[in-house]
Structure 1
Amino acid sequence: MFGFGSDIGIDLGTASVLVFVKGKGIVLQEPSVVAIDKNTNNILAVGEEARRMLGRTPGNIVAIRPLKDGVISDYEVTEKMLRYFIQKTTGKRIFFKPKIIVCVPSGVTEVEKRAVVDATTEAGARTAYLIEEPIAAAIGAGLDISIPNGHMIVDIGGGTCDVAVISLGGIVVSTSIKVAGDKFDEAIIRHMRKRHNIMIGERTAENMKIEIGCAYPRAKEVTMDVRGRNLVSGLPVNIKISSEEILDALEESVSSIADAVHSVLEKTPPELAADISDQGIVMTGGGALLWGLDKLISKRTGIPVYIAEDAISCVAKGTGQALDSIHLLESGANAKRGGRR
């Protein structure tokens, strides 16, 4: 345990929370889900334990995600969740409160930024700083963002997709759209209901996305047995679904991401666009692992696309590495300081 208040970097994601402790690396990766007893308002479980309860709880227990589309939708629950994760990584006895850097999407408002800072401070931070996701993702992917050279990052998480061109440590052009992993799941659920008259849960949709999901036609089609509830008879059914069907289901969502990349490239200064054309586009985040998404973006833009090594933890790693540059964050435009003086 890290009882002496080691500085912490947190990737506060819509789908999962990753915690980086200085000198230790990533020490925790759990779903951002909280299970609450509605009668007493007590928290029953957080993280993986709460995720297992999704769609399987009795009436008085609700398993909720306190973040939606990359921002806090339930402040109180987010604060409790953060407190739980901070205590889990630092131990119960904290001699000095840690400095904490939290990652936020590039498109968040000042009000949303303040909510994250306040929730982190209330949860036990001595001081809270913010860093924008594309910057953290680029650092975590091993790009040298301090030089006058254009890098393009496409970070696809659970709630948001951030597309940014970075040079000299700052964001030159960026956009953030609320189409990412969660929207992929929703599209699969909608498709199953519309095409097969079958209702499936979030976890089944996520498994389908991982196993047979694709954004580009596969050379060899793959299939998967899916269990759900028939909406006509109300009974459980088993059905075989192909990757081609999921390609149809996800077409609209993945096109939105390709359009966002295209629109950022259109606004990029020519010198930086030339750099990106030479070096390629780097993709990070769990959503980047959707089969063929890199191929689709490459086809649309004519630029090579690379998926970063360990794409899921790039943002958390970058946030953690930014702990060494807190002095820059205190005065920088890309992060905002909060907390009690």
Structure 2
Amino acid sequence: MAATTDIGIDLGTSSILVYAKGKGIVLKEPSVVAYDKDADKVRAIGEEARQMIGRTPGNIMAVRPMRQGVITDFLITERMLRYFIQKAMGRRAFRKPRISICVPSGVTEVERKAVEEATYQAGAREVLIVPEPVAAAIGSGIDITKPCGNMIVDIGGGTTDIAVISLAGTVVSNSVKISSETFDQDIIRYVRKTYNVFIGEQTAEAVKIRIGSAYPRAEEKTMEIKGRNVITGLPATITVSSDEIRGALAQTTNQIADAICAVLEKTPPELASDVSDRGIILTGGGSLLDGMDELIQERTGINTVTAENPASVVALGTGQYREVMNEFESQF
């Protein structure tokens, strides 16, 4: 069982991924908890709870205990972590795990401590906090221990983390509270304002995945969506185009590009030159928005690529962080 006692957790706003040493990603589920207020009980966690969003009776709340990479409900986060750790390790695990867990680069010391404390309460024997961009870089296959600049942009479910990394540390970074969840909210707002139709989070996410884009598409796509007319209160069906959705997302996608440019402006010249040569790497589920890499490349003039399996790289890097750092420190 020794192989599974080292695990890495990507505790995201929208999903949680668990990496077990020697096994890879062993669990990926939405970070949602269905909580019964009347009975003061957790009714469901993960995928089962996600399916309840917008469909629960008044006494049951489908809650996300993480918001923008920060714990908003400590007890529910602890219960959720405990459940996922046990599920990932299996019932035969008799030893408490050593856990590496990542946090956005912009969190405060208090927020960082809250994540650490929740992880201990959930059953960890040892906790290591990993900055999200560093984890993303390791998971993308970058050797962060070399003295050269690498730029990582991690567009997660709650925050976008931008960092220039060299010699196993972050040189310049910025964390903005914009994410793939912001894209969903932009779509909800646009449909409501333009068509007087209210749609839920799951519908908005489906629109984003199927026809959403950050950069003009070669051919326009359309999609039929169902919602509720805000005036009559009756069900309504409308058709939206990819051009409309790109317009709805434009402010947010441009804010991400602006934040990247701001980090580049603060980057020391030698490292900026490295980034220019090596390119920008996009990670996180939000980087899967069609044309995101093209938009950033156009705005910065730097070759931009999306990592392979971008939604999993933070969990992979978090799980491998301890080994990478031990190896790095042994060189000195």
Measured after TM superposition, the shift of residue 97 of structure 1 is 0.6
Measured after TM superposition, the shift of residue 326 of structure 1 is 6.2
- Corresponding residue for residue 161 of structure 2: 162
* 3-state secondary structure, aligned to 1:311: coil
* 3-state secondary structure, aligned to 2:312: helix
Aligned identity (percent) is 60
- Contact 1:3–1:91 (Cα < 8 Å) also in 2: no
Is 1:12 aligned to residue 11 of structure 2?
yes
Give a deviation string over 1:6-43, Cα, whole Å, max 9, x none. Answer: 11100000010000011111000000000011101111
Aligned length: 330
- Corresponding residue for residue 336 of structure 1: none
* 3-state secondary structure, aligned to 1:233: coil
- Corresponding residue for residue 80 of structure 1: 79
TM-score (norm 2): 0.97
* 3-state secondary structure, aligned to 1:312: coil
CA distance in 1, matches of 2:213, 2:289: 6
CA distance in 1, matches of 2:92, 2:302: 51
* 3-state secondary structure, aligned to 1:228: strand
- Corresponding residue for residue 56 of structure 1: 55
Give a deviation string over 1:309-341, Cα, whole Å, max 9, x none. Answer: 11110001111111324647999xxxxxxxxxx
CA distance in 2, matches of 1:283, 1:298: 11
Measured after TM superposition, the shift of residue 4 of structure 1 is 7.6
Measured after TM superposition, the shift of residue 91 of structure 1 is 2.2
- Contact 2:3–2:21 (Cα < 8 Å) also in 1: no
- Contact 2:4–2:22 (Cα < 8 Å) also in 1: no
Give a deviation string over 1:187-238, Cα, whole Å, max 9, x none. Answer: 1100011010000000000111101111111110011110000011111111
- Contact 1:295–1:305 (Cα < 8 Å) also in 2: yes
CA 1:301–1:225: 2 relative to 1, 3 Å: same
- Contact 2:168–2:325 (Cα < 8 Å) also in 1: no
CA distance in 2, matches of 1:235, 1:218: 33
1:110-259 equivalence runs, <5 A: 110-259=109-258
- Contact 1:188–1:246 (Cα < 8 Å) also in 2: yes
- Corresponding residue for residue 271 of structure 1: 270
**Unpaired stretches in structure 1, ≥5 consecutive residues:** 332-341
* Corresponding letter in the other structure for 1:23: G
Measured after TM superposition, the shift of residue 95 of structure 1 is 1.7
CA distance in 1, matches of 2:118, 2:327: 23
- Contact 2:154–2:161 (Cα < 8 Å) also in 1: yes
* Corresponding letter in the other structure for 1:240: T
Aligned-residue Cα RMSD (Å) equals 1.6
- Corresponding residue for residue 334 of structure 1: none
CA 1:287–1:168: 2 relative to 1, 3 Å: same
- Contact 1:8–1:101 (Cα < 8 Å) also in 2: yes
CA distance in 1, matches of 2:222, 2:139: 34
CA 1:309–1:168: 2 relative to 1, 3 Å: same
- Corresponding residue for residue 279 of structure 2: 280
**Which is worse superposed, 86-95 or 52-61?**
86-95
Give a deviation string over 1:216-272, Cα, whole Å, max 9, x none. Answer: 111100111100000111111111110011111101111110000000000001111
TM-score (norm 1): 0.94
Measured after TM superposition, the shift of residue 94 of structure 1 is 3.3
- Contact 2:4–2:20 (Cα < 8 Å) also in 1: no
- Contact 1:285–1:314 (Cα < 8 Å) also in 2: yes
CA distance in 2, matches of 1:328, 1:132: 18
